[in-house]
């Protein structure tokens, strides 16, 4: 049998071992083709709604060769346009040097080259010496080129393909699984970005599985590890942990520690996580975990430690006006810890915080990408901090993320070795990677996983 006949195209086939060639990671031709076949076809997470709260607020979002302006026209309407002047193609809004994107408030967008002006609805409102065009500059020919924009989960999503399915159809089961967490109510605690010397898929695949945790982050082994899984949900995937019976809550991100004294290991795990990752927890959860040792007797079983910790943290937050949604433990077990939204966004959800990753190509260079991470939590009304995307060198990221970062360029370089035959994801714990490439192949027409003998 040749490789083509063993190409994997169904979810069931991904339960068995596959091998994935390096073309999707390394090929300049593949990276160029991604622009037309993937980035201009897919729904992409492009920003947060709270960043454009007032009329005239806008953000830009760049992907490969394209730049998009997303602007609030009024209280009800958000619009997106290609960030290009229709006169002679000057980029309409420049990104300030060193910034991730442009952001501001405008009543109109005025091109800096010759002064053509556009309203928040994209219509051209002023053209110097318009009569010179002898009546040929109709509204249709002068309005900004529109881009589809919808919202879900508190994010702005764009799609450059006028023929695309709706965002709802694209997301499939994702809203049903994540809406209970009310992610739209969360606000950023921090947001950082960086440029890596690796393909955007290498960056995303450093976070879409739990298989690496025991080795890349050995410190966490002291707190006990559950076995991780990865499941496929249409275009998307999610990952989580198998929790012991009666500890279904622990399948989510808020896990108690294991070992002889779960009070102590939970507190230690929370403090370690806060100090070294600054993700996946909140100060309220850390403080409630620190009190476990005083509030519970020594031989309290893990399930009771978990219930006490979560319920006291919930009550602490309620006292300051932060109300967590209530999610059924069985739903928590089903939803897992993080969702990979095809193609390049990951949401690590919980009832009171989330950790999100995104990676985008750096132009058409297969060897570089823009990587970003943001941590969100619930704040009392009006008390969310004002955050910006901060370009952050590796040394200034939380140490646990630095451990992940250390693998990026090394994987990209290693894949170029004459001795490397293709990536072999764990069929159970890294099925998310196999699924990503199966779905990418449907857009790209190349790079599908191949079944192992
Ligand atoms: S290119 Fe924008 S006004 Fe000329
Ligand atoms: Fe990691």
Q: What is the mean pLDDT of residues 157-163?
A: 98
Any residues with Cβ below 6 Å from ligand 1, and which? 85, 87-88, 90, 111, 113-116
Look at residue 157 and give its three-state secondary structure: strand
Residue pair 38/343 in contact by the 8 Å Cβ criterion: yes
pLDDT at 44: 98
pLDDT band at 93 (very low <50, low <70, confident <90, very high): very high
CA of 43 to the centre of ligand 1 (A): 29
Residue pair 310/289 in contact by the 8 Å Cβ criterion: no
Which residues, at least 6 apart from 409, have a Cβ–Cβ distance to it below 8 Å?
Answer: 196, 197, 198
Ligand nearest to the CA of 219: 2
pLDDT at 251: 67
User: CA-CA distance, 296 to 141, in Å (whole number)?
Assistant: 71
Tell me which residue has its CA closest to atom 1 in ligand 1.
Answer: 88
Could you give phi then psi for residue 55, rounded to 5 degrees?
-55, 130
Of all atoms in ligand 1, which is nearest to the CA of residue 115?
A: 3
User: CA-CA distance, 366 to 200, in Å (whole number)?
Assistant: 8
Q: Does residue 244 carry a pLDDT above 80?
A: no
Q: What is the mean pLDDT of residues 339-367?
A: 97
Name residue 345's beta-bridge partners. 341, 358
pLDDT at 311: 95
DSSP readout, 203-235?
A: HHHTTS-STTHHHHSGGGGGG--PPEEEEEETT
Ligand nearest to the CA of 220: 2
Burial profile 32-64: b = 16 or more Cβ within 10 angstroms, e = fewer: bbbbebbbbbbbbbbbbbebbeeeebbbbbbbb
- CA Rg value for the chain: 24
Q: At what angle do helices 262-276 and 302-319 cross, to 10 degrees?
A: 50
Using DSSP bridges, classify how beta strands 146-152 and 155-159 pair: parallel, antiparallel or unpaired.
Answer: antiparallel
Burial profile 322-345: b = 16 or more Cβ within 10 angstroms, e = fewer: bebeebebeebbebbbbbbbbbbb
Look at residue 148 and give its three-state secondary structure: strand
Which residues, at least 6 apart from 436, have a Cβ–Cβ distance to it below 8 Å?
Answer: 201, 204, 205, 208, 237, 340, 342, 343
Ligand nearest to the CA of 124: 1
Pocket test for ligand 1, best of 81, 113, 137 (most atoms within 8 A of CB): 113
CA-wise closest residue to 241 among 219, 210, 204: 210
pLDDT band at 258 (very low <50, low <70, confident <90, very high): confident
Least confident of 65-74, 135-144, 236-245, 263-272: 236-245
pLDDT band at 249 (very low <50, low <70, confident <90, very high): low
Of all atoms in ligand 1, which is nearest to the CA of residue 111?
A: 2
Q: How many CB atoms lie within 10 A of CB 28?
A: 11
pTM above 0.85, yes or no: yes
pLDDT at 223: 77
Question: Residue 348 is inside which H or E element, if any?
Answer: strand 345-349
User: CA-CA distance, 133 to 152, in Å (whole number)?
Assistant: 42
Of all atoms in ligand 1, which is nearest to the CA of residue 85?
A: 2
pLDDT band at 252 (very low <50, low <70, confident <90, very high): confident
Give the max Cα distance, the chain: 87
CA-wise closest residue to 68 among 51, 44, 50: 44
Q: What is the mean pLDDT of residues 300-312?
A: 93
Tell me which residue has its CA closest to atom 4 in ligand 1.
Answer: 114
Residue pair 377/351 in contact by the 8 Å Cβ criterion: no
Question: Residue 280 is inside which H or E element, if any?
Answer: none
**Which of the pair, 245 or 291, is modelled with greater confidence?**
291
User: CA-CA distance, 159 to 227, in Å (whole number)?
Assistant: 36
CA of 159 to the centre of ligand 1 (A): 25
DSSP readout, 26-67?
A: H-HHHHHHHIIIIITTS-EEEEEGGGG-STTEEEEEEETTEE
pLDDT at 1: 45
47 conformational bin, left if phi > 0, alpha if psi -120 to 50, beta if neither = left
For all residues of the chain together, what is the average pLDDT? 95
Q: Is the preceding peptide bond at 270 cis, omega within 30 degrees of 0?
A: no
Which residues, at least 6 apart from 215, have a Cβ–Cβ distance to it below 8 Å?
Answer: none
- pLDDT tens digits for 100-134? 999 999 999 999 999 999 999 999 999 999 999 99
Of all atoms in ligand 1, which is nearest to the CA of residue 90?
A: 1
User: CA-CA distance, 59 to 49, in Å (whole number)?
Assistant: 10
Pocket test for ligand 1, best of 116, 142, 144, 145 (most atoms within 8 A of CB): 116
CA of 272 to the centre of ligand 2 (A): 14
Tell me which residue has its CA closest to atom 3 in ligand 1.
Answer: 114
User: CA-CA distance, 331 to 340, in Å (whole number)?
Assistant: 18
User: CA-CA distance, 394 to 166, in Å (whole number)?
Assistant: 37
- pLDDT tens digits for 29-80? 999 999 999 999 999 999 999 999 999 999 999 999 999 999 999 999 999 9
Of all atoms in ligand 1, which is nearest to the CA of residue 116?
A: 3
> In percent, how much of the chain has pLDDT > 90?
90
- pLDDT tens digits for 210-225? 999 999 999 888 877 6
CA of 197 to the centre of ligand 1 (A): 35
Ligand nearest to the CA of 144: 1
């Amino acid at each position: 049998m040749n490789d083509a006949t063993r190409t994997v195209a169904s979810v069931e086939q991904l339960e068995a071992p596959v091998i994935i060639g390096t073309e999707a990671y390394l090929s300049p031709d593949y990276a160029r083709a991604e622009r037309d076949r993937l980035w201009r076809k897919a729904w992409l997470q492009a920003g947060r709604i709270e960043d454009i709260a007032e009329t005239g607020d806008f953000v830009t979002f760049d992907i490969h060769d394209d730049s998009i302006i997303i602007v609030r026209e009024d209280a009800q309407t958000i619009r997106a346009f290609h960030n290009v002047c229709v006169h002679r193609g000057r980029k309409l809004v420049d990104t300030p040097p060193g910034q991730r994107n442009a952001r501001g408030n405008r009543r109109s967008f005025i091109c800096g080259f010759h002064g053509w002006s556009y309203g928040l609805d994209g219509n051209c409102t002023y053209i110097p010496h318009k009569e010179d065009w002898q009546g040929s500059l109709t509204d249709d020919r002068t309005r900004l080129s529109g881009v589809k924009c919808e919202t879900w989960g508190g994010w702005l999503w764009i799609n450059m393909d006028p023929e695309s399915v709706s965002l709802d159809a694209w997301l499939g089961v994702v809203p049903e699984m994540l809406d209970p967490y009310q992610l739209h109510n969360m606000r950023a605690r921090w947001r950082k970005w960086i440029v890596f010397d690796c393909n955007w898929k290498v960056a995303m695949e450093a976070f879409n599985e739990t298989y690496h945790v025991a080795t890349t982050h050995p410190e966490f082994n002291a707190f006990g590890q559950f076995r991780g899984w990865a499941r496929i949900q249409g275009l998307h995937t999610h990952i989580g942990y198998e929790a012991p019976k009666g500890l279904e809550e622990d399948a989510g991100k808020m896990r108690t520690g294991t070992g002889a004294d779960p009070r102590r290991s939970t507190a230690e795990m929370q403090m370690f996580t806060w100090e070294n990752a600054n993700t996946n927890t909140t100060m309220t959860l850390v403080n409630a975990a620190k009190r476990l040792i005083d509030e519970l007797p020594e031989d309290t079983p893990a399930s009771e430690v978990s219930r006490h910790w979560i319920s006291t943290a919930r009550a602490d937050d309620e006292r300051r006006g932060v109300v967590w949604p209530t999610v059924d433990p069985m739903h928590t077990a089903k939803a897992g810890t993080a969702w990979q939204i095809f193609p390049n966004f990951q949401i690590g959800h919980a009832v009171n915080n989330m950790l999100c990753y995104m990676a985008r190509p750096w132009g058409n260079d297969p060897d570089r990408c823009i990587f970003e991470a943001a941590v969100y939590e619930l704040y009392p009304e009006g008390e969310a901090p004002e955050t910006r995307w901060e370009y952050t060198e590796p040394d200034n990221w939380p140490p646990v993320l630095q451990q992940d970062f250390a693998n990026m360029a090394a994987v990209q370089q290693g894949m170029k070795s004459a001795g490397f035959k293709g990536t072999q994801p764990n069929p159970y714990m890294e099925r998310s990677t196999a699924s990503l490439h199966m779905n990418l192949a449907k857009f790209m027409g190349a790079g599908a996983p191949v079944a192992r003998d």
